[in-house]
Every structure is written in structure tokens, then in C-alpha cells.
Amino acid sequence: MKKKIRVRTLLFGGVMTLLFLVLITRIYIVQVVEGAEWYERAKVRWSTAEELVAKRGTISDRNGNLLAMDTIAYNVSIDPKTINDEELADDIVNGLHDILGISKEELEKNVSAKKEDGTYVVNRELRNGGWQIDKATADKIREFRKVLAEEKKVTSVGIDLAESSKRYYPRKSLAAQVVGYLNREGEAMTGIEASFNEQLSGENGYIKYEKDGKRVQLAEGEVELKQAQDGQNVELTIDSEIQGYVEEALQEIVKKYAPKSATAIAADPNTMEILAMANMPQYDPNIYWKNNANSYNHAIKSLYEPGSTFKIATLAAAVEEGVFHPEEMYKSGQITLKGVPTPIRDIKRGGWGTISFLDGLKYSSNVAFVKLGYERVGEEKLREYYKNFGFGQKTGIQLGNELTGTINFRWQSDIARATFGQGVVTVTPIQQVAAVAAVANGGKLLQPQIVKSITDPATKTTTKIEPKVVRQVISEETSRKVGEYLEQVVSDQEKGTGKNAYIEGYRVAGKTGTAQKVEKGIYSTTKFVVSFIGYAPVDNPKIVVYIVVDEPNDPLVGGGKVAAPAFQQIVLKSLRKMGVAPNYGPDSDNAAKEVTMTVPKVTELQVAQAKAELKAKAITFELVGNGKTVLQQIPAAGSVVHPTQRIYLITEQKEKLSVPDLTGVSLRDALEITSLIGIRLIPEGQGFVVSQNQETLNNVRVLNVVLAPPTGDDTPADQQAVDSAEDGGADDQESSDEEQLDQSDTASGSDSAETPDNSTSE
């Protein structure tokens, strides 16, 4: 027995020793031989990573007002398993339907979603209607979730809210076609959002760290971090206030004439910075899916036969070539050209008799421009001028999908009709603005700019976009002369087709256009594109504006009646907003006219309300005090003052007031203001305050002011004036000669005769 026990013991010990050796060997292999491999595998299990999402850059106007930004949003998801286990399906469907507006059929489909094995899924995203909702909606869902859980006595109702971000457009439809939008997947679709997507997007980062079994970061663990690089901020050349003036004017056109579309561009002719670019109908990029078709930007993507506004290019060419003599006489009515089977006619059958070429410009005579462009400038030079003005080529504006337009001369009739903007000529609105800006600014064709600067938030560096001169098209002298001729199209209230664009006190140059549209190769007698383009002041242009209206509901109205009044409204407000003082032409009658405005009443209003009212009317103002209500205003309501007069809003009692800037104020108003404040005024000179200096004499506060007579150059640059499109405006009724379209002149085909004013195709 002892021997058997010894053998068994040895055998057991041998087996244990062998197992121990195997274990030691395995440990050695794992720890030493394969140690590095197993360590890497462990690190993978310990490690986790999180994406650091870059913030998309902002889009703002030239004054820093935000037009596009990122904001907090919430994504809704549901847990069908929990919902069905707790028998909450009907409650969830009804509740989310009421809050999110998702159809009950869609919700029922999501609530009952199952896996392939027949069990309910545990997570279902409500992307169609529950994605990127705002905080107010998210709060409603939280409240619904809380009430339902209490009512059903459950810990979870199967609704989850995850915080994320979304693109938000605080000004809604303002400049929406320019700004563009992102879709629900965050993809840039149109406008600046798409054209500058790379700069705006930035680059996502990440953080990798080691965690324990409870997913808590290890204090001594390795960390790998790559910071997200936020997108760059894009500042546009757009001025939100001028953009507002433009959109308001277009809305009035839409309300009155119900056109297919209406487009307007306002720009600084000296830099070609776009101050406003608008299209009607509008859309809100925050809810783009409701009216996405309205995101189309006609200003760069639509082609029109320009009609008589194109005559500006022909006129400039004729003046530059020395063949336009304003007092030279010619026979208006119609003209027959060799090789052209039908005569080209003026809008008025029979014309205006024998008139001067300057009167031909005022009446918008097609015959005059055929003689100037076709007969005198000639095909070769005419083609060169049109090309140099930028027609038939992209302008290079920083927006995608800009169209080129056409200038194609095939037949003699093509050349003749091109002189007044018909037939083979098609242009985009932005091309028209660039060309007329060249006429206004001394002859330089500039590349249109919609972006003013781009700022990198990481490096704090700003890249400014400088004006770019493409070429010199005409001389400065030609530019000056053409401006004076176009001024008479507006200022001559008897003959000028642009008389409804007249602004009392400002020198305005402009040209109307009324062009027929082509339908199935034939010029329509009922569908027109009407337009107006011009700039002001003539002697020192600050703004050029083009308005084009596609298919107004009245076939008997032209650009002078539809577009010119809108131009007047936009330019008047904009010049006053810019602080451009009224100026007068050489006409003694004009020089004798006094431009005034009536001060509105804003006393007793809340400061915010008063500011909004004055700002809407382009009236400059200054707050005096830190109160919340306007206690008094200077000048008083109903006062008749100069349009650039600043309005002072007194918001506190005099013992709390400090001395405001009185530059540009009359002596009477300065005395009233200082009396309210309780400070003694010591004036020197007569007229309006040009400087001031405060001091204390014998323990009494005094304000020394120097006054000088008003001049255009001395008017403070920051002064603005009243919103009144009709203040000093011209007669709203255009002459019957321009508006009465003679349908007997309507033609078809490429060799057709000229019809009323001109014709167009889209």
C-alpha cells in the first residue's frame, strides 16, 4: 500500500509539475514573446475616441450683422422596444404628431420598427421632422416626456433628445439668395454657403484616451488630442440696411404688378462692391424645404434681352468715338437698312419728327441708336466695346453658376438691333451693373465683389478683398459726358423716359428698358421684361442700382413706370443713409429748390421702438442719456429741416445727461439741447456747428461751439435723412408715347422689325 501511495504521489506531483511548467511557458510566451502584441490589443480595448466637431464660420454683412451662424439644435430618436414593452405606442404617436407635425403613419412605422429576428429595435432616429429642432420644440418634447412618464408610472417613455448644432439664419429671408443654405445633412447647397464651403467648414478634430471598465478616463493614461479648426468667418460687401431698402421696394412692385420675378442689384460703382442683391419671390433658408425654388438667384443665373438699358453701352461707344453730337438733328420714326428686309421703328409710330440726338436719347429712340452704333461706330468697334464692357463673358463675382450671356452678330440686322439691346444680346443683371458702373466711375470696368474679407478665428488674421480693375473701357471725359446726357433722361420731366426716377436735390443718371419676351420664336405682345438702371450723384457717383421685373401683370407698363419709382426709393434712402448731402445741377431752377423733410414724432416711445422707426426711415439720430423712453426730441415733431439733420432723443432728466456731439446742428437746436442739459453755450460764427469744446469757467460748465454756413462738402458724413420715396419725386405717370405699345409693329424671327422699345428672350 505504501508503494502504491508513493507512486500515486509521484505521478500526481509529476502531473502538477508538468502543468506548472506548461503554465509558466504560456505565461512567458504571453508576457514576453507575445507581450507587445497583447499590450496593443489591450490598449485598443482601453482606448476610446471622440470627434471634436469644428464650428462652421459665420457669414455677416459689411457692418458685422450676422446673416448665418451655428446654433444649438436637438435630434429626436425613439426606442421602439421600450415604447412597446410599456404599451405607450398610441400616446407616443399622438404626442409627437402634435409637437413635431410628423404624420401619424410615419410615426407608427417608426414606433413598430423591428429587427430581422422579429424583436423591436432599441433606437430609431426621426430624421424626417425630428432632426435639428429648436430649443422651444425640444422643451415641449421634454415636458411631454415628463408628463407621460408620471401618468403611466414608468421610468422611461422611449424618447431621447441629443444635442447637436444646426445652421441658423437670423435675418431670415434678408439676402437669402446671396447667403444660400445648408440642407438637413449639413451640405452646402447655394450662395456663399456653397461657394465658400471650404473656408466656412473648418476641420474636425478628435481626442483619444484610455478608460477603465466603467468608461472613466484613466488619470495616468495616454491622451492623443487634435483640436478642431473652426471655419473662417466671411464678411460680405452687403449692407443690411440698403438690402432692406431694396427688398422693400421689390415687395411693393410684387404687390402692385404680380410679376413672375423681380430682381435688383445695388453697388458702389467705384469699387463694384455689391451693397444689395435681392430677388422676389423670397424664401427663408431656415425652412428652405417649404419654398426651395425661390432660392434661385436671378441676378447671376438668368439671361434677359436687356432692352433700352443696353443703349448706355452704345451711347458710351459713340461718345468715345466722337460720333455723338447732342444737338445734331436726325429724322426719327423708322430706318431702313441695306440687307434688312423690314424697317426698324421707334416705339412711337411715326416718331417725333426731326429731333436732336439728345432728344432721341431722352425719348429712347431706336432709330437714333441704329444711326449711332450701326452706321457710325460700325460692327467691328461696336463688338469690341460690348466685349470690353464685359458682355458675353462672366464677371467673376464670387458666386457659383454665373451665366455668360451672348453677343452674337450673324446678320446685319443683328448688329443693328444690338445697338438698342434686342435680338442676339442676352445679359445677366450683374453684367449690366458692372458695365454701367464703368460708365459712372470714369471708365473702369471692375470685377464685382460680394465678399469684403475672410477672417481665420485661429490666427486672427483677416484677408481683405481689394477692388480689381479689369480694363479701362472709355476715358474719364467720355464718362463725364455720358453721365450728363443720361442725367437729362431723368431730369427732363417732359421728354425723359426716366423722369419717375428723378430725386429732388440729387443729380441722377439713368435709362429705362421695356423688352418683349420670346415665345416659340415669336415676340410676345403681352409678356415683357421691364427695367431701369442708373446711378447718383452724377458728378460723384456713390451708388448704381439696376431693377429688372419679369412679366408684370400689365402689358402696357414699361420700365419707367414699374422700375424707375423703385429705383428712386432705393437711391434716395441709400444716399441719405450714406450721409450724401443733396447737390444740384447747373440748372438755376434746380439750384433754387430747397430739399426738406418733416421730423416724425417719437416722444413717449420706448427707445428700441423709436430707433426702429427712425432707422426704417433712414433718419440719423443720437441718443442722449441711458433711459428706456424718449422724453423729448430735438428738433420737435413736425419741424421742417434739412434731410441730413440729426435727430436727438433725450431719454433722461438733465442732471444725468452728458453733452452729445452737436456737429451739423443749427444754433437754435444747439441752444435747446444745451439748455436741457444745463450747460451754457458760447457760439462763434453763424450757421451750423462744425466743432465744439467743453470747459469749466468759474465753476460753470460751458460749451464753446464754432459755426459755419452749410455747404455740400461740409455736411457731416454720418448724417442721414427721412425715408420718403415721393419727396421731391417726379410725376408717377410716364408719357403715353413710351407706355403705349403699338402691336402692329410686333415682328417674329431674327430679321424682324423693331417692336415697341425692344424685344427680349429669356
Q: Does residue 639 carry a catalytic annotation?
A: no
- As given in the structure block, the three cell numbers for residue 550 are 419679369
Residues 6+ apart with CB under 8 A from 478: 316, 319, 320, 443
From the candidates 240, 295, 308, 364, give the one annotated as an active-site residue: 308
Alpha-carbon distance 52 to 229, whole Å? 9
- As given in the structure block, the three cell numbers for residue 365 are 429712340
Alpha-carbon distance 461 to 288, whole Å? 33
Alpha-carbon distance 699 to 656, whole Å? 18
**Terminal Cα-to-Cα distance of the chain (whole angstroms):** 116
Helix (H) or strand (E) run with residue 90 in it = helix 89-100
What count of other Cβ atoms lies within 10 Å of the Cβ of residue 723?
A: 22
The one-letter amino acid code at 536 reads: A
Query: What is the biggest distance separating any 2 CA atoms in the chain, rounded to whole angstroms?
Result: 149
The one-letter amino acid code at 460 reads: K
Residues 6+ apart with CB under 8 A from 690: 663, 706, 707, 708, 714
The Cα-based distances of 88 to 82, 108, 127 in angstroms read 8, 11, 21
Asked if residues 238 and 297 have their Cβ atoms less than 8 Å apart, the reply is no
The Cα-based distances of 571 to 58, 234, 473, 683 in angstroms read 29, 27, 25, 36
DSSP state of 30: I
Alpha-carbon distance 505 to 423, whole Å? 38
What count of other Cβ atoms lies within 10 Å of the Cβ of residue 20?
A: 10
Asked if residues 504 and 522 have their Cβ atoms less than 8 Å apart, the reply is no
- As given in the structure block, the three cell numbers for residue 301 are 443665373
Which one, of 282, 304, 312, lies nearest residue 295 by Cα? 282
The Cα-based distances of 551 to 257, 259, 310, 330, 417 in angstroms read 9, 5, 19, 33, 22
What count of other Cβ atoms lies within 10 Å of the Cβ of residue 515?
A: 32
Helix (H) or strand (E) run with residue 717 in it = none
SS3 of 692-707: EEEEEECCEEEEEEEE
- Residue with the three cell numbers 430682381: 263
DSSP state letters, 347-377: SSTTBTBEEEHHHHHHHT-HHHHIIIIIIII
What is the rounded radius of gyration, in angstroms, for the C-alpha atoms of the chain? Answer: 36
What count of other Cβ atoms lies within 10 Å of the Cβ of residue 459?
A: 8
Residues facing residue 471 across a β-bridge: 445
What 3-state DSSP class applies to 328? coil
For the annotated catalytic residues, the residue numbers are: 308
